[in-house]
Structure 1
Amino acid sequence: MAETRQAPGGETLVEIWTDGGCKPNPGPGGWAAILRYGKVERELSGAEAETTNNRMELTAAIAALEALKRPCRVILHTDSEYLRNGMERWITGWVRNNWRNAAREPVKNFELWQRLLAAARPHEIEWRWVRGHAGDPMNERADALATAAREALG
């Protein structure tokens, strides 16, 4: 287990690794999140019978952030550029434009983006992209949990 890491302000840091996916896409999907607070780890996972990769990526981040009991400093690791770019680059414009994208079309998955925005609001989050299936042990673990959840659907 990792040692407790302190954020610059002295508060304890929570690290989160998320993953989600479908096979085929769209189709049955699974998601997973691993939360690490000091030496304590918690795994979350779930599945849906008919969904998309992007919906599962968003659901993993939502579940992880909603599991936090108080405002935290968070580093959230994701292999989803859709998730990271959505939160770091696109969401401000979407909100300003009443959940319309640059083409003035409704934002896909807007109900999940709204839920993610609400779940993220109390926290200070650094969104870190990691390359999927490239040997990052925690990303691989999250992928395995998400795959197991999807496969458990039958």
Structure 2
Amino acid sequence: MGINYHTPGECGQPSTTRKWRADRKFIPSEIYGKDYDLDSIGWQAGYSIAVACPRMEHKCADCGSPSVHVGALIVAVDGTCRSTPQVWGPSAIGVYFAKDSPWNIVKRRNKPMATSQTAELQACMAALEMVVIIKKETLEQELSQIIIKAHSDYVFKGMTEWTTKWAKNRWLNAKGLPVANGELFQEIEKKIKDLNEMGVEILFWRVIRSQNQDAEKLANSAFDGARRP
């Protein structure tokens, strides 16, 4: 058998009319129930991890293969750096679409004064830039939802809670100082807006580190030459 593909419209509501989440949060328990299986949320389909359909009746009755939504993808991101309190070191990013996917990204950056938080945002930006390419050149109209998976609370809260407050406060923090990484946050916001205008919803999913190892391994491979996922 194999994975069954269908549009969200076959679940009762066309993807072109479903309401996007204002807070951009992907919360599996609200979709799959409290006892959802984390490993069953996404399934590799070609070059990407597709989002599983929440309706159990759409699974294959013969082999139990999942049903996934066309154009709804999970992209894992991570950023890291080799800086210490005494010495600034290089940083690296990892963007994971799927095992052996040509869309996976590994980049090492030698720009001074790097932090892990900056690298995590750079990984998010790189993922969105790749999504634009995919939307334009590959999946075209089918791509309608991207879920950015990260174990960084900084990325998750930044893109789902903080940016709205910062924008209203002219990108100044509570102390009246410029927001750290404010320019990068604004670049990501602009890229999300561009994708929204192309019909692609962007959501963010916060997981624990052990559930984001594929992206973490990609980022670390930029330093140690480890085999890429």
Report the TM range for the smaller structure's normalisation: 0.7 to 0.9
- Unpaired runs of at least 5, structure 1: none
For residues 189 and 177 of structure 2, what CA distance do their matches in structure 1 show? 20
Unaligned runs of 5+ in 2: 1-42, 55-68, 136-142
8 Å CA contact retained: 1:48, 1:150:
no
Whole-angstrom distance in 2 between the partners of 1:114 and 1:5: 28
More strand by share: 1
RMSD between superposed Cα atoms in Å: 2.4
> What TM-score does the superposition give when structure 1 sets the normalisation length?
0.82
Contact 2:150 2:205 in 1 (8 A): yes
- Aligned positions of 1:131-146 closer than 5 A: 131-132=208-209, 134=210, 136=211, 139-146=212-219
1:47 corresponds to 2:120: no
Q: Which residue of 2 aligns with 1:23?
A: 82
Q: Secondary structure at the match of 1:107?
A: coil
Q: Give the letter aligned to residue 180 of structure 2.
A: K
| 1:59 lines up with 2:130 in the alignment | no
CA distance in 2, matches of 1:99, 1:111: 9
Question: 1: CA distance between counterparts of 2:224 and 2:153?
Answer: 24
Larger Rg: 2
1:18·1:77 contact (CA, 8 Å) conserved in 2?
A: yes
Aligned length: 145
Measure, in 1, the Cα distance between the counterparts of 2:94 and 2:75: 10
Which residue of structure 2 aligns with residue 2 of structure 1? 44
Partner residue in 2 for 1:106: 178
Larger RCO (CA within 8 A; separation ≥ 6): 1
8 Å Cα contact 1:7/1:13 also seen in 2 = no
